[in-house]
Amino acid sequence: MEGQSKGSFNVMEESERNGKGRCGSMVGTCDLVLRVLAFVLTLVAAVVIGADKQTAIVPFKLVESMPPLYVPVAAKWHYLSAFVYFVGANAIACAYATLSLLFSLGNRRKGMESLISVFDTLMVALLFSSNGAAIAVGLLGLQGNLHLHWNKVCNVFGKFCDQVAASLFISLLGSITFLLLLLLPHVFRLKQTT
Amino acid sequence: MEGQSKGSFNVMEESERNGKGRCGSMVGTCDLVLRVLAFVLTLVAAVVIGADKQTAIVPFKLVESMPPLYVPVAAKWHYLSAFVYFVGANAIACAYATLSLLFSLGNRRKGMESLISVFDTLMVALLFSSNGAAIAVGLLGLQGNLHLHWNKVCNVFGKFCDQVAASLFISLLGSITFLLLLLLPHVFRLKQTT
């Protein structure tokens, strides 16, 4: 009887261990896929906004009573510090995604796993702050602000703004990918406890 | 000999368990302190910017040849959507810090710990994005942007901007507190492996 109980306990333990092993390997696979995705998305986001540039012909009045002069005006991403920070953050996150991918593909020791988790967390903070900054400034460019007399610029630089919006969307997906890298172990642990 | 080896193994295991226990209780204490700090900082940040308001007398020219009219102009935090998002994010983080503090003080099951970690991660993303947005807009208010013809406003609304800066600084500390809540277990694990 005791032997039977011990035997069934061993079987349960074994199946639990197998379950944990399967779960662990699933987390490992998801982790790798997410790191590849994070690399691609942050790279594309940085390149899309980094290559963004538009020149538009804008009417410019020197004297009120004279007809306006038409002057070519350029819009470049580095005119706004929020976009400079955004490009820098995406570039750093992209480089880190490559490094962490290489370490994840190699033999991961417990210490290395913790170190990667620390840097994943820092990347989430960095990317979300840069997305917040770029989206806030992008919205001001799109809508302007009546109270501050800041005119919208997207009615003049439509193509430039579209490209910024695309880059912001891609970077947001990249940030969510890094967020998922942090959430994944907790979600699997939650699934195991329920 | 075998008994001695088993004995020393048990002593090592016991001391390791004790070490882990001490570490666990230290992490628990730090966790509680950080949650109280996060609650206080996010609350103060939201209140400081929420109570921010300044009226300044600004010269306003209706016709170029006439002397300017002096008009009272008000600056309020809700004139900028980035600040609205900032206040909302800090209020949500403050409410969550209270809830998570209550749950942490209660008996924490493994499932609850994972759930709290998931929400801590979401709070880091929320707070850092709102800080990024508010800092980007705050910098535009302080420096303006020559390329976009967005004038600086902090030369007129100095007190308002100082209060915004104080709130941003406090909220940044709150965000770092939430970040430390995520980093703490990894840092302790790293310390254990080295």
Render pLDDT for A49-93 as a digit per residue (tens, 0 to 9): 999 888 888 887 777 778 888 888 889 999 999 999 999 999 999
Q: Is residue B153 part of a domain?
A: yes
CA dist., res. A101 & res. A96, Å (int) = 8
What pLDDT does residue B172 have? 97
H or E segment at B159?
A: helix B158-193
Residues of chain A contacting residue B118, judged by C-beta atoms under 8 Å apart: 183, 186-187, 190
Taking CA atoms, what residue in B is nearest to A131?
B129
Q: Which of residues 49-88 of B touch A (CB under 8 A)?
A: 64, 75, 79-82, 85
Q: Is residue B84 part of a domain?
A: yes
Q: Using CB atoms, pick whichever of B64, B118, B125 lies closest to residue A124.
A: B125
Can you tell me which residue has the tokens 């955004």? A86
- pLDDT exceeds cutoff 70 at A1: no
What pLDDT does residue A68 have? 83
- The 3-state DSSP class for residue A124 equals helix
What pLDDT does residue A108 have? 63
What pLDDT does residue A29 have? 85
Q: Is residue B22 part of a domain?
A: no
Cβ of A190 within 8 Å of Cβ of B82? The answer is no
pTM, 2 dp: 0.85
Cβ of A193 within 8 Å of Cβ of B145? The answer is no
Q: Is residue B16 part of a domain?
A: no
Rounded to an integer, the average pLDDT of A84-110 is: 90
Nearest to B97 by CA among B156, B149, B38, B174: B38
Q: Is residue B12 part of a domain?
A: no
Would you tell me the crossing angle of helices A81-105 and B110-143 to the nearest 10 degrees? 150
Position with higher pLDDT, A28 vs B77 = B77
Taking CA atoms, what residue in B is nearest to A63?
B64
Q: Using CB atoms, pick whichever of B128, B149, B193 lies closest to residue A125.
A: B128
User: How many other CB atoms are there within 10 angstroms of residue B188's CB atom?
Assistant: 16
DSSP label at residue B67: P
Q: Tens digit of pLDDT per residue, chain B (194 long)?
A: 444 444 444 444 454 455 556 656 777 888 999 999 999 999 999 999 999 888 888 887 777 778 888 888 889 999 999 999 999 999 999 999 999 999 888 866 777 888 999 999 999 999 999 999 999 999 999 999 999 999 999 999 999 999 999 999 999 999 999 999 999 988 888 888 76
Q: Report the Cα B63 to chain-centroid distance in Å.
A: 47
Residues of chain B contacting residue A130, judged by C-beta atoms under 8 Å apart: 132
DSSP label at residue B150: B
Render pLDDT for A128-167 as a digit per residue (tens, 0 to 9): 999 999 999 999 999 999 999 999 999 999 999 999 999 9
- The 3-state DSSP class for residue A109 equals coil
User: How many other CB atoms are there within 10 angstroms of residue B151's CB atom?
Assistant: 15
The chain-wide mean pLDDT, for chain A, equals: 86
Q: Is residue B13 part of a domain?
A: no
Q: Is residue B175 part of a domain?
A: yes
Q: Is residue B18 part of a domain?
A: no
**Which range of residues forms the domain containing residue B104?**
33-193
Total number of domains constituting chain B: 1
**Per the structure block, which two tokens stand in for B95?**
């409410």
Percent of chain A with pLDDT over 90: 57
- Segments of chain A assigned E as strands: 53-60, 69-76
CA distances from B71 to A191, B55, B74 (A): 62, 10, 10
CA dist., res. A118 & res. B117, Å (int) = 14
